[in-house]
Structure formats: structure tokens, C-alpha cells
Structure 1
Amino acid sequence: MRIALIGYGKMGKSIEQIARTRGHQISYIIDQDNHSDIQKISPDNTDIAIEFSQPSSAFDNITTLLSNKVKTMAGTTGWLDRYDEVKALCTRTNGTFLYASNYSVGVNLFFELNEWLAKKMSQLEDFVPEMVEIHHTEKKDAPSGTAITLAEGIQKNDPSVKKWVNESSEDHHTLGIISKREANVPGTHTVTYRSPLETIEITHVAHDRKVFAEGVIKVAEWATNQTGILSIREFLNNQS
């Protein structure tokens, strides 16, 4: 598989390392110094592009790749207010696009557990939901994309939760997300339901950034044979 890496920070370098150990080729590495070379990426030289750049450049990168008929995966967060535009472009070009806030297989199972728990908790009274997410100090966006996905899962399954805020909240109808930035933390997410009498808590802890990179490559190996708007859930459902 020929992979173009868009963004060459810690995540990009980790993806490159895992890709090469699995026998894949890196067709392009696009970073700030050679950003104009993204226009050279095409299906003739690349099977799939993997976008992990910055929120400010992600949308333009993704739309350039899709316009060039390149199958594209993205993990950059902070641009999703324009997600519908990307979906529309992908449909018009009969392309392939997959966005995930987190490519860890364990986190995506955690998403499903979170939704199941939210549905159960919606039947109980006196519990206030809250979330804490902890990441490394270099992470620029808050809350994390993973935290937002968890929040959306809670809202979808518990109609009493009307919104989320990036701070603590005692309002039963508002999910408070507390974002912490600490050195050398790949990612920790904890969802808590607290009542005056008891607390229920689920947590996912990533111990090494490699778990995300391995997930990216495994999903990419599947996505190169797919067309359309894809999801991690589809990938998981197709694993035997």
C-alpha cells in the first residue's frame, strides 16, 4: 500500500514507522516546508492519504485530496464545523473518506460502552454526568475530539443531556468536560455519573501513542478497498 502522510508531527512519524514495519510504502510526506506538493498526490502514486496536521489546515488538505480523487483518512480534530462540506465533496467525486477522532480499536469499543451506559443511565434519576480528558501539553485543541465523540454518544442516548460545556457543571442537563494538559500523557478519558449516594465511572487509558498509529494503518488497509463515507464502526463490524 502506498501512503501519503499529510502532517509530520509525532503522530505522522509514528504512523510512518508502523506503516513501514507492515511492509507499506510512503509515497509523500507533506509538512509545512513542502505543503504545495500536496497537489502532486494522485491515485497514480498513492493508494490512500492519511491527514494528521493542524485544525487550521485540515479542511483545505482534505478537500484538495478528495478533489484529486485520492482516498483520504483524517484524524485531525477542530475542523468538524465543515464536515458536511467534505461529505458532499466526497459524494460528488465518488470518493472515499473516513474521519475518526480516535483510531484506537480499544477507544472505539469504549465509545460503544459509553453509549450503552448512557442509555442505561438515562433511566435513573439524581446522577450528574461529567467527563475528564487528559492529554500531553502539545495538544492544541480542547476538549479532545475523542471527548467530543463521547459527549455526542451520551447526548444521543440520554435525551436529558441537552449540551456539553468545556468546564465543570452541576446541571443535570449539561455534560461538563474538564480538559487537562500534562506532560507525556498520550490520552486518558473518564466518564463519570455521580449521585449523592454512589458513583459510576468508566475510563480508557492509552499507554503509548503507537496504539493510535497501529489503528490508523489497520483501518487504512481496509479503507483502500472501500468507497464512500466510511466510519470506524463499519471497520470494526467487518473484522472477523
Structure 2
Amino acid sequence: MNIAIIGYGKMGREIERTAIDRGHKIVAKVGREGIAAHSLTGVDVAIEFTEPTAVMDNIRTLLGMGLPTVCVTTGWFDRVQELEDAAHQAPLVYASNFSLGVNILFQITQELAALMAPYSDYKVGIEEVHHTAKKDAPSGTAITLAQGILPAYPALHGWALSQNAGPDQLPINAVRQDPVPGTHTVSYSSSVDELSLHHIAHPRAGFALGAVIAAEKAVHIPPGIHPFADLLFAR
């Protein structure tokens, strides 16, 4: 499979290593010069990891070329529906987190919320911890976790950062400190005990592996917008 990497920084280089290890070829590496400076002839799939300010134009350009696209960039998901027309030309795969473990966490979180919701003594909350260079807070992963919990709690009206959360909102505590691995915790606390789900991300390789697996799947699916979890857990 011939892959174009759009955004050749630290993560782009990790994606390159992982893709080569899995038998693929990197035929284009697009940096700050932008997509227009490169020929993407012969590319089977593009993996995009740039900035929230650039991602919409990048995706439209890639889909307009008919290229299946995996978008690893976060911080833009409130605009995903704006890409419906462009995605008629090629598939777009996106996720707030491409770690396989985190996507399993998303599924377990939904199931646990349904089990815990009848027990009002337990108060649910989310905490995410990242390095200080991370620009979005809360993380896209924390928001996805919240979206998996809220349907089970009709009395909660959305989520909010913990310092601003009202009694009818799901609190997300966003912590920024160095050095620290990306960490997400969903907890249910009562006066007698606490139950938590905990995920710690170690090397970037875990995210790169998920992105390359998504690319492998993207070349075999129809046009449209596809959440990564739907491809992983299709039954």
C-alpha cells in the first residue's frame, strides 16, 4: 500500500516507521509546504496529522483527489458534518484517539455507564492528564468518553470542565503538567467505594499503529465519514 503522510513531524515519522514495518511504502511526506507542493500520483491512502486550523482544507483537498483519508488531527470534531459532501468522493476515517486500547476503553465506558446509572450514590467523573504543549482542553478523548456516558444519564445536561461544572453536568478535570504520559480515567465514586477505568498511553507507537490499521481498512470501505471505532468493532 502506498501512503502519503500529511504532517511530517514527530508523529508523522512514527507513522512512517510503523507503516514500513507493516510492509507499506511512504511515497509522499508533506510538511509545512502543503499538499499543493507535492504530486500524490500513485498514493492509495493519506494519513493526515497537522493542526486544527489546517485540517478542514487538507481533508477537502485529499477527498477531492479521491484519496481515502485517515485524519489523526484532533480539535475539529464539531465541524465533521461539514465534510459530508466531500466524503461522497472518498472515505474519511477519523477518531479522537487512534490507540487500540483507548477505543476499547470507549466501548467499555458506554457499557459501564449503562450498568452504573441506576445507582445514584455513585458520582461519575472524568480526568485527563497531558503534557503542557497539548493545545486543546479537555482532550478529544475525554470528550468522546463523556459522549459515551451521557446517554445513560438523562439528568446530566452535557459536560463541562470541572472548575465550571454545575451539579447537572458531567465534570471533566483537565490537567496539564510535564513530563507525563497521556492518561484518561473514568471514575464512579460513592461514600463506600470507587470504581475506575484507567488508560495510560506510553510511546507514540500505539497511536501510529492505530492510524496505519485505519489506513489499511480505509482502502476497502465505501465513501463516507467513518468513525474508527465502527471499523474496529464492526460485527
Higher relative contact order (CA 8 A, sep 6+): 2
2:159–2:165: 8 Å Cα contact kept in structure 1?
A: no
Give the 5 Å matches for 1:59-208: 59-91=56-88, 93=89, 95-168=90-163, 171-208=166-203
Distance in 1 between residues matched to 2:144 and 2:81, nearest whole Å? 16
Paired residue type of 2:60? T
Q: Which runs of 5+ in 1 are unaligned?
A: none
Q: Which moved further from structure 2: 193-202 or 99-108? A: 193-202
Please give the TM-score of this superposition, normalised by the length of structure 1: 0.90
Whether 1:35 and 2:34 are equivalent positions in the alignment is yes
Distance in 2 between residues matched to 1:49 and 1:36, nearest whole Å? 11
Please give the TM-score of this superposition, normalised by the length of structure 2: 0.92
Paired residue type of 1:8? Y
Alignment match, 1:23: 23
Structure 1 consecutive aligned stretches of length 4 or more whose deviation exceeds 6 Å:
none
Query: Structure 1 residues 186 and 13, CA, compared in 2 at 3 Å: closer, same or farther?
Result: farther
Distance in 2 between residues matched to 1:6 and 1:170, nearest whole Å? 37
Distance in 1 between residues matched to 2:228 and 2:203, nearest whole Å? 20
Query: Structure 1 residues 155 and 225, CA, compared in 2 at 3 Å: closer, same or farther?
Result: same
- SS of the equivalent of 1:40 reads coil
| 1:82 shift after superposition | 1.4
Deviations 1:174-209 (A, max 9, x none): 111111123343411001122233222111111221
Query: Structure 1 residues 222 and 68, CA, compared in 2 at 3 Å: closer, same or farther?
Result: same
Q: Which moved further from structure 2: 56-65 or 158-167? A: 158-167
Distance in 2 between residues matched to 1:64 and 1:168, nearest whole Å? 39
Whether 1:2 and 2:7 are equivalent positions in the alignment is no
Q: Which runs of 5+ in 2 are unaligned?
A: none
Paired residue type of 2:177? E
Identity level (%)? 41
Deviations 1:26-79 (A, max 9, x none): 1211121x11436733xx421111111111111111111111111101111111
User: What number of residue pairs does the alignment pair up?
Assistant: 234
1:77–1:145: 8 Å Cα contact kept in structure 2?
A: yes
